[in-house]
Structure 1
Amino acid sequence: MKSLKKQRRIQIIAITIVALIVATGLIGYAMRDGINFFRSPSEVIAAPPSPAEVFRIGGLVEVGSLQRGQGETVRFSVTDGGATVPVEYTGVLPDLFEEDQGMVGLGSYDGTVFTATEILAKHDEDYMPKEVVDALKEQGVYQEPSDG
Structure 2
Amino acid sequence: MAGLKSLKKTRRIQIIILAFVALALSTGLIGYALQDGINYYRSPSEVIAEPPRADEVFRMGGLVSDGSIVRGQGETVSFSVTDGAETVPVRYTGVLPDLFSENQGMIGTGTYVEGVFEATEILAKHDEEYMPKEVVDSLKETGVYVEPDY
Q: Considering the TM-score relative to the shorter chain, is it more than 0.5? A: yes
Q: Which amino acid aligns with 1:51?
A: A
| Per-residue CA distance 1:39-88 (angstroms, 9 max, x = gap) | 11111101111112222111111112122223322211101112110011
> Aligned to 1:123, which of 123, 126, 135?
126
| Per-residue CA distance 1:70-118 (angstroms, 9 max, x = gap) | 3322211101112110011122211100111100111111131111121
> Aligned to 1:35, which of 33, 38, 43?
38
Structure 1 unaligned blocks of 5 or more: none
Q: Secondary structure at the match of 2:108?
A: strand
Aligned equivalent of 1:64:
67
- Pair 1:142 & 2:141 matched: no
Q: Secondary structure at the match of 2:128?
A: coil
Q: Secondary structure at the match of 1:34?
A: coil
Moved over 4 A (4+): 1-4
| Contact 1:48–1:111 under 8 Å retained in 2 | no
How many residue pairs get aligned? The number is 147
Q: Distance in 2 between matches of 1:91 and 1:146?
A: 34
Identical amino acids, percent of aligned pairs: 72
Q: Distance in 1 between matches of 2:123 and 2:76?
A: 16
Q: 1:4, CA displacement in angstroms? A: 4.4
| Contact 1:78–1:85 under 8 Å retained in 2 | yes
Deviates more, 1:121-130 or 1:6-15: 6-15
Aligned equivalent of 1:13:
16
Q: 1:14, CA displacement in angstroms? A: 2.4
Q: Is the radius of gyration larger for structure 1 or structure 2?
A: 2
Structure 2 unaligned blocks of 5 or more: none
Instruction: Output the TM-score relative to the length of structure 2.
Output: 0.87
Instruction: Output the TM-score relative to the length of structure 1.
Output: 0.88
CA RMSD of aligned residues (A): 1.7
